[in-house]
Amino acid sequence: METLIKNMLIAALILGATSVSGQRMKVADFDKADFQPLKTFRVVQGDLSFSGEETPVSENTFYGWVKEYVRRDLEARGYTFTEDSAADFTVDYVAGSYNINTNENLGPLGGAPATDPAMMDQSRFYSESTKEGLLVLQIYRGRGKSLLWEAEGSVNLNPGQVERVLAGMISKAFRKFPKAETR
């Protein structure tokens, strides 16, 4: 059931992504979540999906990167990482990528002047293929599945930059995450 929900979330993100611009990260409004009693966290292996292509990175490698960057950002905010399933909260993720193909008929001449009469009736076409990367981070209280916090984002991906983009997206997601209470 949990995998079905994550797959539905991936599909919703793919359908919801309409523009192809720079990195976007949206943090859901969870003002009512109480982070004060939370001190320890763990990171679990989430779902990874790449559409119609050879996978550029293994699931275990991607999980290692997510764990490293989430740990870096949350420890900087005063939380303590643990592998123990009894952690105060759990960080989970859904990530992947898909291809976007843009084709457009620019019309006769495509806005360019004709150099001879034979070019007057020729249409100009524009075509572009890009890869869009998606990341959803979710934080659940303890072992239960009570959602406390969520961030989702997308970014244009170029070959060989998955790790660098992932680090930036995670950092941006946790930018406004509450700091741990010190006693």
What one-character-per-residue DSSP string does 36-81 give?
TT--EEEE---EEEESSS--SS-HHHHHHHHHHHHHHHHHHTT-EE
Per-residue confidence band for 53, with pLDDT thresholds at 50, 70 and 90: low
Domain-embedded: residue 81:
yes
Total domains in the fold of the chain: 1
Domain-embedded: residue 17:
no
Domain-embedded: residue 134:
yes
**What is the domain range of residue 160?**
24-173
**What is the per-residue pLDDT for 26?**
77
Q: What digits encode the pLDDT tens for the residues 69-116?
A: 999 999 999 999 999 888 999 999 999 888 888 887 766 555 666 677
**What is the per-residue pLDDT for 129?**
80
Q: What digits encode the pLDDT tens for the residues 111-155?
A: 666 677 766 666 667 788 888 888 999 999 876 678 889 999 988
Contact 138, 93 (CB under 8 A): yes
Global pTM value:
0.72
* CATH assignment of the domain containing 88: 3.30.160.670
Q: What digits encode the pLDDT tens for the residues 7-42?
A: 544 544 444 443 334 566 777 766 667 778 899 999
Domain-embedded: residue 141:
yes
Contact 25, 169 (CB under 8 A): yes
Domain-embedded: residue 59:
yes
Domain-embedded: residue 180:
no
